[in-house]
Amino acid sequence: MHSSKSTRFAPDRGLTTRMVSTMFFIGLLYVVFVGVLLALLRGAWPLILLCAGGMFVAQFWFSDRIAAFSMGAREVTPEEAPELHGAVDRLCALADMPKPRVAIADSDVPNAFATGRNRKNALVCATTGLLRRLEPEELEGVLAHELSHVAHRDVAVMTIASFLGVLAGVITRVGLWGGFRRVGGRDSNTAVLVVLIPLISAVVYAISFLLTRLLSRYRELSADRAGALLTGRPSALAAALTKITGEMARIPTRDLRQAEPFNAFYFAPAFSKESFNRLLSSHPTLEQRLEQLGRISARLGRP
């Protein structure tokens, strides 16, 4: 889980430290969570281990396909999207990194995302709404941001980190729907499990959610910084951020609601963070991002 030593993206020790710390605490939480389930449901341990292991493998190995499918991404050839491929080609040559697969999502919500458990099977996707609204330099700024996620490997870490929350959420729902009651009958022990397991699952979900949100906000600032330094045009990325945030207000709420579950993977959140508690936000505020880009511009001596 090193940073980006093999590419020209600026390494970020702070990001690496946070990824390692998040993985440690998520792993510890996972072990404790499964241990508690095994202690409470002694007779069901094969099923618990099978479900936990199966969900982890599915989440890790198929995360890029699941995310791409969920967000409507369709892989495109250079002939189908020459401008998009050309921008990715230039940035990958500049960063000295392998070219990921390139996709387009048919959505008017102006956004982009990167997914994949490593650089070899990474995918970078832009929506039709983004391609239609941004100038070439602005688009390159957004793509540089997304490619830095691939170079820093934080996409894979976010995928793994989110697994425990997904598992806990599933078990919580099963418990709340009375699944454990139906399985175990109506004795007092079953009644305790019906209350205890959803409660423990909810606590685990809340902790893992906060840990991944904390990492997500930092990784977005890190990607802004790395992308701006790679292209040498922080003002283009700032212009893209401002334009995208402004355009979100014109998108139908229904479309934004469809995009909201994937906020942590998108370049910009579907809803402005002013409407949410910062602790629960997947992204830093627009002001924080623009302020950082302004500092980089001053350091580079560019407007």
Condensed to tens digits (0 to 9), the pLDDT of residues 273-303 reads: 454 566 678 899 999 999 999 999 999 886 5
Q: Band of the pLDDT at 4, cuts 50, 70, 90? A: very low
What pTM, to 2 d.p., does this model score? 0.83
- Which tens digit of pLDDT belongs to each residue from 199-252? 777 787 788 888 888 899 999 999 999 999 999 999 999 999 999 998 887 888
- Given the residues 146, 247, 287, 291, select the one marked as catalytic: 146
Q: What are phi and psi of 273, to 5 degrees?
A: -70, -10
146 part of the active site = yes
Q: Does the annotation list 152 as a binding residue?
A: no
Tell me whether residue 83 is annotated as binding. no
Per DSSP (E only), the strands in 59-218 are: 73-75, 101-105, 112-115, 123-127
H or E segment to which residue 287 belongs: helix 286-300
Phi, psi angle pair for 115, to nearest 5°:
-145, 170
287 annotated as a binding-site residue: no
Among the listed residues 141, 110, 148, the one whose alpha carbon sits nearest the alpha carbon of residue 297: 141
- Nearby residues of 232 by Cβ (< 8 Å), 6 or more positions away: 300, 302
CA distances from 119 to 6, 15, 46, 149 (A): 11, 17, 34, 10
* Averaged pLDDT for residues 156-166: 72
Confidence of residue 186 (pLDDT cuts 50, 70, 90): low
> In terms of DSSP bridges, do strands 101-105 and 73-75 run parallel, antiparallel, or are they unpaired?
antiparallel
Work out whether the CA dihedral 213, 215, 221, 226 comes out positive or negative. Answer: negative
CB 178 within 8 A of CB 194: yes
